[in-house]
Structure 1
Amino acid sequence: MHLLGITVALGLLGGIWAQLNVLRPECDSPEAEEAALVAQDYLNAQHTHGYKYALNRIEEIKIYTVPDGNNTHVLEIELLETDCHVLDPTPVANCTVRPKHLTAIEGDCDVVLKKVAGVLTVTAFKCKTEESREDVCLGCSTLLPLNHTQGLNFVQASLTKLNNGTPNLTYALLEVGRMSTQVVAGGQKYITEFVIIEANCVNDTCVPLNDTMAAHGICTSEGINDPSVNCKMFSTMMPLVDANTTGPALPPQVHVHMGYVSHKHGFGHHKLTAHHNPHTNGYLSAESAESAEVVPVAPALTIPAAEPASASPPADDSSSDASASMEVPITVVKREAPASIVANAPAAQKDNVAPVQVCPGRIRFF
């Protein structure tokens, strides 16, 4: 009786295994590239502070196929920070990746995408963002934490100088994007990037316009005491002002509305959104933990027991209840087959063996 139940369970298990297939295309194949670019754009859309990220490398790709064609793509990708702010409408393909000597920022992401009717959609992701410490040159600028007091004072002085040079418009600080410092002849030089927004001012207090049409732009400033400020507006990306005149730095005249300033923290960069739906997706959790490949677990099957040969009731009612049905949990786990079995496998089975994967893919920047 038990043998019959196990035989049926194994038959069903074989059917499930036949329907599950894991493909490993080359990391530079068109289908991998398509999925990676969809993931890149989606991650940038979730990133509400800082800069856009560009795809640098596809580390790995797996495609879990099912008979209905709605396959699941699991990617490991590496991204690099660009100089385009997330509010900048410039396509990320036209943005410049920040070079190593300016402290490059890397994002390593595991992304799960579902393909339905030929359309790829991200269902889960998990990212880690960190500074690249490779090839940091002696004497190069050093990235400062975004809550660095002297750096923020320099940003405020830069904003004041900007507003003094644009009498018909006033701008408030929306976000500090980057701050760095460099030791040069004459003292400590600061290099900053910050986002501005058109503001209404009453007396000394300026509040950003609560209007989707309010002008937004990004400014860069540098100097030891007196900042040199250059800004470009996102709508036109044309220079707003070239405030390169020399003279003593003026005291701040604009009070920043703190509700619009980016989160203060001790990092020198804005991180990618860390995760979305990672714990409810079996594909992503396996990838994130760097565990062995596990095919999704099939549901437990309840298999009715064979009819007893005798019509007479059993002596023990409890044993009858236990034998009325038997729950056989089925867990499908990929394991390495012995070499002898693989070598002697029939030709029909060899056709289902995935080709050797060419991964990781090419490096696009560094």
Structure 2
Amino acid sequence: MNFVGITVALGLLGGICAQINVLRPECDSPEVEEAALVAQDYLNAQHNHGYKYVLNRIEDIKIHPTVRLPEQHTFVLEIDLLETDCHVLDPTPLANCTVRPKHLTAVEGDCDVVLKKVGGILTVTAFKCKTEEDLCLGCYSLLPLNHTAGLDFVQVSLTKLNNITENVTYALVEVGRMSAQVGLSQFVVAEANCVNDTCTALNDTTAARGICTAEGVNDPIVNCKMFSTLVMTVPLVDANSTAPVRPALPSHGGGLSHKHGHRHHKLTALHNPHLSSFLSAESAESAEVVPVAPALNVSSTPAAPTQTTEDSSSASDASASAEVPITVVKRDVPVSVAASAPADKTHPVVPVQVCPGRIRFF
């Protein structure tokens, strides 16, 4: 056999070995769901604006074992997330948050996440997300978050709120969403320090804050859900040190909602692009990239949401794995598993779907 033939044969053998080494468990298996929930909580921790997201479906899973380190595996997950009605500053546990129903313009996140599992501990090392509205016939449409008339309505609503509250004045933190239907908005407020006619939101973890819904036209009805502590879902770590840092409290004029024409707040788009060989192009996002913290170790499985109703959307840091990623060889996703009993005409074999997994909401 000549040199070229040997090279081709070795290449084919290497490809076959790589395919054998890629494990494809069921999307709804306990091990995969644990990894998906770790990814869900990590993505929420990087998301400093808008609303929390909850796992809706596990689309695909590949597990790459490390040949020289049998206790180390790399998980490559594709997951779908749905926006809830809990703002990222709201300390309400994610399991108690309600998924925004379709008719109120649901927002979904499509994310590819790479995790490393060493000694039973899952660590997120890279992710890539895109966030988009789940548009449907008859659903509410959203205004851009920098819409002039919409922001004027929010300001009128804030003034009314301050006129009916006693001993405290609130300042606008950010606009959560604004409906194109007349007079329907959500915005976040925080206790303010006022000097003359200028009020500034207090950047204090004990300051009162909340999310308000305003409905109406000339005389809006304002209802607010107040919470008094700043949420810390996981301990964020500064990219240049190991000291925990709190997420920055956005302020009026400095938040993303007043800089762009998006109709909703997007998840952080990209983290650790040097590991992009593990990530598909499907979830690429080109806008609203926010710097994120290094990977975090999560040793316990986060609590899964308890909702069952059908009505419950480029940055990198210095952290990197020293290990060279295993080469990914594309192969078709197995969509069925054979039944153990032999098939016959009386009892035909029914294929069992293993991926994607079940839909939790819609």
TM surpasses 0.5: yes
The AA in structure 1 aligned to 2:59 is: E
2:171 matched residue in structure 1: 172
Match of 1:142, SS state, is coil
Find out whether 1:360 has 2:356 as its counterpart.
yes
Distance 1:121 1:359 in 2: 23
Q: 1:116 Cα deviation (Å)?
A: 1.0
User: Who is 1:55 aligned against?
Assistant: 55
Q: Whose RCO is larger (CA < 8 A, sep 6+)? A: 2
Q: Distance in 2 between matches of 1:38 and 1:332?
A: 23
Distance 1:356 1:231, change over 3 A: closer
SS at match of 2:254: helix
Instruction: Judging by fraction of residues, say which structure has more helix.
Output: 1
Task: State the Cα distance separating 1:258 from its structure 2 match.
Answer: 2.4
Q: Greater CA radius of gyration, 1 or 2?
A: 1
In 1, are the aligned partners of 2:60 and 2:78 still within 8 Å (CA)? yes
- Counterpart of 1:209 (choices 202, 207, 223) is 202
Measured in 2, the distance between the counterparts of 1:358 and 1:172 equals 50
Tell me the residue number matched to 1:311.
Answer: none
TM-score scaled by length of structure 1: 0.69
Q: Distance in 1 between matches of 2:262 and 2:281?
A: 29
**Which structure 1 residue ranges, 4+ long, deviate > 3 Å from structure 2?**
13-20, 259-263, 285-289, 331-336
* Alpha carbons 2:91, 2:229 under 8 Å: kept: no
Q: CA deviation at 1:282?
A: 2.0
Indicate whether 1:125 and 2:132 are aligned. Answer: no
Gaps of at least 5 residues in structure 2 are 231-250, 285-322, 333-350
Task: Return closer, same or farther for 1:360/1:335 CA change in 2, 3 Å cut-off.
Answer: closer
The one-letter amino acid paired with 2:78 is E
Residue matched to 1:163:
162
SS of the aligned residue for 1:181 comes to coil
Provide the rounded CA distance (Å) in 2 between the counterparts of 1:154 and 1:201.
Answer: 22
The structure 2 residue matched to 1:103, chosen from 102, 105, 109, is: 105
Query: Amino acid of the residue matched to residue 41 of structure 2?
Result: D
Task: Map 1:233-244 to 2 at 5 A.
Answer: 233-235=226-228
State how far apart, in whole Å, the 1-side matches of 2:207 and 2:357 are.
Answer: 42
Match of 2:147 in 1: 148
Q: Which residue of 2 aligns with 1:258?
A: 253
Pairing 1:226–2:219 present? yes
Equivalent of residue 76 in structure 2, options 74, 79, 83:
74
Q: CA deviation at 1:266?
A: 1.2
| Aligned counterparts of 1:177 and 1:55: Cα–Cα separation in 2 | 20
Please state which structure has a larger fraction of its residues in strand: 1
User: What are the ranges of 5 or more consecutive residues in structure 1 without an aligned counterpart?
Assistant: 183-188, 238-255, 290-297, 300-330, 337-354
1:270 paired with 2:265, answer yes
Query: Paired residues, what number?
Result: 281
Decide whether aligned partners of structure 1 residues 287 and 205 sit closer, same or farther in structure 2, where only a CA change above 3 A counts.
Answer: closer
Are 2:141 and 2:179, in contact at CA under 8 Å, matched by a contact in 1? yes
Identity of aligned residues (%): 76
2:172 and 2:190 in contact (8 A); partners too: yes
